[in-house]
Amino acid sequence: MAGGDGRLSHELIPGEKGPQDSCGVFGVWAPGEEVARLTYFGLYALQHRGQEAAGIATSDGESILVYKDTGLVSQVFDDQALESLSGHLAVGHARYATAGGRAWHNAQPTLGPTATGTVALAHNGNLTNVHELLDIVSERSGTDLSGDLGKGSSTDTAVITHLLGTEPPSDGGLGDAAMAVLPLLRGAFSLVFMDEHTLYAARDPHGIRPLVLGRLPSGWAVASETAALDIVGATFVREVEPGELLAVDADGLRSSRFALADPKGCIFEYVYLARPDTTIAGRPVNSARTEMGRVLAREAPAEADLVIPTPDSGTPAAIGYAQASGLPFAQGLVKNAYVGRTFIQPTQTIRQLGIRLKLNPMREVIAGKRLVVVDDSIVRGNTQRALVRMLREAGAAEVHVRISSPPVKWPCYYGIDFATRAELIANGMSVEQIRDSLGADSLGYISVDGMVEATAIAPDRLCTACFTGAYPVPHEDASLTPVVSA
Ligand code: SF4
């Protein structure tokens, strides 16, 4: 999979967005290497985590340069831009922005002054106590900043940068400031940041978003996913531990603990968000997805002739479903690989083709067949509804939809933007009502227990809140009320 376009199954209809991660982060300390170029390729491997802005900051030990803009990594940077970013350490960011937050000033890394120099910071996740933190920032600066900082989707990152910038000077510099600030933060944060000399990486005590450490021949790299280490030739060393702050510079690698670890890794990383060639907490994502398909086949069997995936994110689960059910697997849909995310709006005529802009059915494979169509999740249901219609038009005798995650009923407060609660199709609808709305012959979801079992991670070390409503970290949304379960 190369970037977000490879995960098409939630992005098949023009204007219809799937679950969006709030970013990919990458950092490198490697004297003698072209760190901006390494960061570029690291971000390129993390493009699926954020496609709306990208940025890189580098330092040569004297000063920090930053280059960032809206667009895909490949659109933001060219050779000239990378040439201008000299130095031996760098941090980078690929951003997903919520509506209205696409502006340049929301792109990361953020830059800010500190008592001992400058901080450049990139953040993946979402803080749950931003208002509390804004009060601290306002108190320290003597002015009410909630109006300025409180705007936009980059609030939490700006707040962290301000907090680091307003820590008093100390011999330990930015590292000391981070040890004072990190315990104040709640929610999900996988951070990479740096001053002129030192690269830092920190992960929240629950380790909700992934963050890993790799070794380069002449230095170190940190990245949201192991796949980004692979692409720059770094060897995976270990995860950045929940509650850990790492520092890397000429004095080597140092680890400090700012909180006790209480792991609650996001299960949706295994379902959909992470690349299949990434490993999280020792479990390869592809293996987890394939196993989810096997469990799904046992829990929701179907009388059918053929199993087909919704490409690409449904593919591992469809393979698992076929293995466990004994039904043949086939590619019944061809993806238009180069029609990816584009800033060019389709014409009205093309928009009306909807899903066909990105997928085309193979009639000779599916005509007359009873199909099991496997997808990783249903958010709004618009994609699956269009898909079922298209398969019927192409001659499918029956369409049985199978989903390798349970119904998404709750919002995520830790960095994933699914949809508003009112838009979630499973919000207040039974499985039978959803089936009817999709126009499928049958609909089956994996159970929560089955999904958790497939990850091979202990249930008490996972967040499953968007499926269960059991939030491992308190959040500030007082309006939350339980959704009627299906
Ligand atoms: Fe992941 Fe869902 Fe938890 Fe958000 S609520 S962190 S998407 S499992």
Q: How do residues 141-193 score in pLDDT, each as one tens digit?
A: 777 666 655 554 457 888 999 999 999 889 899 999 999 999 999 999 999 99
Q: Which of 80-84, 113-117, 412-416 has the lowest mean pLDDT?
A: 412-416
Backbone angles phi, psi at 21, to 5 degrees: -80, 155
Q: Whose CA is nearest to atom 2 of ligand 1?
A: 466
Query: With pLDDT > 90 as the criterion, what percentage of the chain qualifies?
Result: 69
Residue type, 374: V
Q: 143, 122, 133: which is closest to 183 by C-alpha?
A: 133
Give the other-Cβ count within 10 Å of 300's Cβ.
23
Looking at residue 96, what is its pLDDT?
Answer: 78
List the domains of the chain with CATH numbers: 20-266 (3.60.20.10), 284-458+469-484 (3.40.50.2020)
Average pLDDT, the chain: 88
Residue 50: C-alpha distances to residues 24, 212, 345 (Å): 6, 18, 19
Dist. CA 416–CA 49, nearest whole Å: 10
- 1 has a pLDDT exceeding 50: no
Backbone angles phi, psi at 257, to 5 degrees: -115, 125
- 336 has a pLDDT exceeding 90: no
Residue pLDDT, tens place only, 127-140: 999 889 988 988 88
Residue type, 152: G
Average pLDDT over residues 316-344: 83
23 among known catalytic residues: yes
Q: 349, 332, 455, 443: which is closest to 394 by C-alpha?
A: 332
Give residues with Cβ within 8 angstroms of 454, minimum separation 6. 270, 288, 289, 291, 292, 294, 295, 446
Please state whether beta strands 398-403 and 442-445 pair in parallel, antiparallel, or not at all (unpaired): parallel
Q: How far is the CA of 463 from the centre of ligand 1 (A)?
A: 6
> Could you tell me the two tokens for 359?
């997928």
Residue pLDDT, tens place only, 348-367: 666 556 677 778 899 999 99
Q: How far is the CA of 464 from the centre of ligand 1 (A)?
A: 6
Is the distance from the beta carbon of residue 457 to the nearest atom of ligand 1 less than 6 Å? Answer: no
Dist. CA 66–CA 81, nearest whole Å: 10
- 408 has a pLDDT exceeding 70: yes
Is the distance from the beta carbon of residue 414 to the nearest atom of ligand 1 less than 6 Å? Answer: yes
Identify which of 20, 23, 452, 466 to mutate to test ligand 1's pocket (most ligand atoms within 8 A of the CB): 466
Give 111 or 141, the one with higher predicted confidence: 111
User: Over the Cα atoms of the chain, what is R_g?
Assistant: 23
Q: What is this structure's pTM?
A: 0.91
Asked if residue 119 lies in contact with residue 111, where contact means CB atoms within 8 angstroms, the answer is yes
Residue pLDDT, tens place only, 286-322: 999 999 999 999 999 999 999 999 988 899 999 999 9
Q: What is the atom index within ligand 1 of the atom nearest the CA of 415?
A: 4
Is the distance from the beta carbon of residue 451 to the nearest atom of ligand 1 less than 6 Å? Answer: no
Average pLDDT over residues 459-467: 96
Q: How far is the CA of 467 from the centre of ligand 1 (A)?
A: 8
Is the distance from the beta carbon of residue 408 to the nearest atom of ligand 1 less than 6 Å? Answer: no
Looking at residue 157, what is its pLDDT?
Answer: 87
Residue 187: C-alpha distances to residues 127, 177, 214, 264, 403 (Å): 4, 19, 25, 11, 28
Residue pLDDT, tens place only, 34-86: 999 999 999 999 998 988 899 999 999 999 999 999 888 999 999 999 999 99
Looking at residue 335, what is its pLDDT?
Answer: 83
